[in-house]
Structure 1
């Protein structure tokens, strides 16, 4: 609060009346009214048409929108009729004209402006009383009756009132004509949106209607028109452009960089939880957030955003610590005021809580994630949501966020297809990381341990806050509790974590034992670790363990290396990170995750060995984690059998060993394929 000075600023949003059918257009107008956002102005161009036909052919869209906005607490300004109607209003002593205007539906109004003055006289002025109002008017006079949205005087008055309104957001409902001035080429016609050009005769009528200084000879070339140097119009336009900062819109690409804490600041995460102490990666994230909130340079710029699920994610401790923002503070004593972590709203709160509104939370996040450009001030937003309700529900906003060069962290909570047992398909996410991979500047990770999360987030802060790269992060976090080890010793571990893959544990050097390479990510990596023990203890197979926090980053780097090699054919070929780590590694590679196989398949081209991928393709079930992981065939027993089968395919062990393993672990060969049931 108070970082950027925004007094006197207005936010203008320009919409079409057809676009208001989108739930996103009107879904949160109640919030603007409730929060008294008098800096917000909507201008809705009510030309009564969608792309294919009328918006409300049998109704009146302006009246409908007026009722919705007024009910939501907005100041509504209607700009319906232009100045040329004023003389008729003065003549009308009985109110017949007003009554006629209200009874005519939008479909008819569209038809009128696609016809002629004579048509309007006959069909609109359809009673003796109404006809008398225009008896001394020509058809051209009737045709020239204008709509408010095309009257500069009315529009100016509406805009002026909007800028002066206090205590309410404002919506201007301006009635216009689609294809205004196009005449027979498309005015008020259903084809207008698809119209690409006008014939010469139609251009002449357009020229004459707007009195444009173009000769018949020049009209064929459709020339540009410019105001003369020194003209009042040109001087006015130039003055307005200079007030806005110049002729071309400018976008700040950087703000003042901020210092980012070193990795050592997150030492509690790097040390692990200690033997017997279990936490989730969500709790590890909360610990990181608490460290950042205490940072002198970054603390006040942290923006936690949660869609009414703080307690689900274990973040309720922040209620008392930093509060939930509300411009009115808290006018009531909360029900849980006697508790340590009571619900606290505050005028200086930092948490943004939009309620059960993922799109609203994402919009908050984008506003904070682009504040470096909009306001010249870096903010660091953390939006945590159910991972299934992230890219799946607000994927369009996630794509827009990338296009807008947003910077911040998205946290997909209770992530993975099998982690949130008992709540069924609505919460079982096995594909958000794949969707995140489709956003070019979204950096995504699926960490297993607290130290991985700390390394990833610290590097993300470096890239976004210190170096100011135009990237944002999507990180999955889970609610499953388990012991977190300390970060492995090694010079390149942190760097390899960031690249997306590192050596978690190498098996003992036993050259006689068959060997496999096991990969995993997220909570399923714990199953992969357990599979390594089964392989060793039950079958004498050694397994090297690779944690892969980001298959997507590995794939991107691999494709970048491929491209470099293609463009530098005479130079020594580079190796991708996957190839470097797996070069010379003995045995097949088996990967298991809580996500669909396509996520892992991204790196197949860079794996030198036989590559077997397990994943959670298909729909889930309401059941325990253990049963869900068996159902999807990604748990320790399926990883073990897959590894043995890969060794058998290579001829390293006999095939009967695979059959023995199926029997030993009670894996039914007749079990239905989870991809198809």
Structure 2
């Protein structure tokens, strides 16, 4: 068994082979549409109990307050060769998640179901947790809106971590709502990069762009309907499974352009998706607003960041999203402020 000097696990040819077996087995299944939580549970069951994969991957199900390696299966503690790792846990704070990631040597696919459990904080997570995720260079965090997005992310993570050998770990926030968007085959690569477009907006004289992630994406969809039906405003919808990945890539492109003034400028997935349009962009998250604030530096249009704490302690609902989209149009001089005032009264937001 090949190991580093400090005993951490190493990728071997058998690691890649195990990952490919897991990917092929999961791809051969045709699961029904489900929530992110139940999609991961079904994938975990396949990896753990299917004869083709039960010896090819580690599946750990546990609570994050358990910090001792001894509480894990003994074969994980004693086996220093790396296999694909899928860890289902419930971490409420950055301290718990930090401890957990140290235990996994900052490897694997960590799936957190805390937002499906009763808790004192928005989405079940302490406000420090999303900030820790965004600032940890070892972590690639995702907040999928649907089971289809979740499935694509787990498969991409298996390939990136255990076949390509990329460092770090993936993190998925899981909710149990079943009304997320579908994910077409041609959109999977864009979803992994951080955002992809949902459908086509109806014709209308006024336009906005609505971005959403996780369970709050359902409210974004409802806001798009309200804008169309009540205000004759067309909304272009984007599902954004990873705001953090979008920001990191955009920052990297900006940094490269700064250091290479004579070279052709690099773009980013965020800029490419939002190019050719100057209508307002409203980005919504169920986490605190600070998760989406960094996108503003890379959006060449009026930008509105919305999250928990922006207008109320919880994430903004469809009515707040609609009213603030109208406010963005008013600030661009495309409608009068009276329409914003009417929306606030009509939806009883004051």
Is the Cα–Cα contact under 8 Å of residues 387 and 411 in structure 1 kept in the other structure?
A: no
State the SS of the aligned residue for 1:483: coil
Is the Cα–Cα contact under 8 Å of residues 517 and 545 in structure 1 kept in the other structure?
A: yes
Is the Cα–Cα contact under 8 Å of residues 179 and 218 in structure 2 kept in the other structure?
A: no
- Aligned partners of 1:361 and 1:249: how far apart in 2? 17
Could you tell me which runs of 5 or more consecutive residues in structure 1 were left unpaired when the two chains were aligned. Answer: 5-243, 274-278, 309-355, 619-628, 669-677
1:473 counterpart = 2:170: yes
- Aligned partners of 2:100 and 2:58: how far apart in 1? 18
Is the Cα–Cα contact under 8 Å of residues 48 and 59 in structure 2 kept in the other structure?
A: no
- Aligned partners of 1:264 and 1:305: how far apart in 2? 18
- Aligned partners of 2:154 and 2:223: how far apart in 1? 29
Is the Cα–Cα contact under 8 Å of residues 576 and 606 in structure 1 kept in the other structure?
A: no
Q: How far is the alpha carbon of 1:254 from its aligned partner?
A: 2.3
Aligned length: 343
Is the Cα–Cα contact under 8 Å of residues 92 and 124 in structure 2 kept in the other structure?
A: yes
Q: How far is the alpha carbon of 1:574 from its aligned partner?
A: 1.3
Is the Cα–Cα contact under 8 Å of residues 644 and 657 in structure 1 kept in the other structure?
A: yes
State the SS of the aligned residue for 2:55: helix
Residue of structure 2 in register with 1:254 after alignment: 11
Q: State the Cα RMSD in Å.
A: 3.1
Is the Cα–Cα contact under 8 Å of residues 499 and 550 in structure 1 kept in the other structure?
A: yes
The equivalences for 1:621-636 within 5 A come to: 631-632=313-314, 634-636=316-318
Is the Cα–Cα contact under 8 Å of residues 211 and 282 in structure 2 kept in the other structure?
A: yes
- Aligned partners of 1:304 and 1:514: how far apart in 2? 49
1:413 counterpart = 2:113: yes
State the SS of the aligned residue for 2:339: helix
Residue of structure 2 in register with 1:646 after alignment: 328
Is the Cα–Cα contact under 8 Å of residues 431 and 596 in structure 1 kept in the other structure?
A: no
Q: In the TM superposition, what whole-angstrom CA distance separates every residue of 1:37-68 from its partner, at most 9, and x where no partner exists?
A: xxxxxxxxxxxxxxxxxxxxxxxxxxxxxxxx
Could you tell me which runs of 5 or more consecutive residues in structure 2 were left unpaired when the two chains were aligned. Answer: none
State the SS of the aligned residue for 1:456: helix
- Aligned partners of 1:363 and 1:563: how far apart in 2? 43
When normalised by structure 1's length, the TM-score is: 0.47
Q: In the TM superposition, what whole-angstrom CA distance separates every residue of 1:297-356 from its partner, at most 9, and x where no partner exists?
A: 532233332336xxxxxxxxxxxxxxxxxxxxxxxxxxxxxxxxxxxxxxxxxxxxxxx8
Q: 1:555 to 1:578 in 2, by over 3 A?
A: same
- Aligned partners of 1:414 and 1:394: how far apart in 2? 11
Residue of structure 2 in register with 1:393 after alignment: 96
The equivalences for 1:361-376 within 5 A come to: 364=72, 368=76, 375=79
Q: In the TM superposition, what whole-angstrom CA distance separates every residue of 1:207-260 from its partner, at most 9, and x where no partner exists?
A: xxxxxxxxxxxxxxxxxxxxxxxxxxxxxxxxxxxxx99xx7686642222224
Q: 1:462 to 1:436 in 2, by over 3 A?
A: same
Q: How far is the alpha carbon of 1:562 from its aligned partner?
A: 1.2
1:460 counterpart = 2:164: no
Q: How far is the alpha carbon of 1:539 from its aligned partner?
A: 0.3
1:451 counterpart = 2:155: no
Residue of structure 2 in register with 1:359 after alignment: 67
- Aligned partners of 2:8 and 2:45: how far apart in 1? 32
Q: 1:267 to 1:567 in 2, by over 3 A?
A: farther
The equivalences for 1:153-164 within 5 A come to: none
Is the Cα–Cα contact under 8 Å of residues 531 and 637 in structure 1 kept in the other structure?
A: yes
1:442 counterpart = 2:204: no
- Aligned partners of 1:362 and 1:613: how far apart in 2? 43
Q: How far is the alpha carbon of 1:295 from its aligned partner?
A: 5.4
- Aligned partners of 1:659 and 1:263: how far apart in 2? 55
Q: In the TM superposition, what whole-angstrom CA distance separates every residue of 1:418-471 from its partner, at most 9, and x where no partner exists?
A: x656x4349732552321122212111000111100110001000122222222
Is the Cα–Cα contact under 8 Å of residues 455 and 498 in structure 1 kept in the other structure?
A: yes
- Aligned partners of 1:551 and 1:572: how far apart in 2? 26
Q: In the TM superposition, what whole-angstrom CA distance separates every residue of 1:601-656 from its partner, at most 9, and x where no partner exists?
A: 122211111110111139xxxxxxxxxx9653511000000100000000011110
- Aligned partners of 1:387 and 1:497: how far apart in 2? 25
- Aligned partners of 1:291 and 1:392: how far apart in 2? 30
When normalised by structure 2's length, the TM-score is: 0.86
- Aligned partners of 1:602 and 1:460: how far apart in 2? 24
1:615 counterpart = 2:307: yes
Q: How far is the alpha carbon of 1:393 from its aligned partner?
A: 2.5
- Aligned partners of 2:148 and 2:162: how far apart in 1? 21
Q: How far is the alpha carbon of 1:263 from its aligned partner?
A: 9.3
- Aligned partners of 1:635 and 1:615: how far apart in 2? 10
Q: How far is the alpha carbon of 1:385 from its aligned partner?
A: 2.3
Q: 1:473 to 1:608 in 2, by over 3 A?
A: same
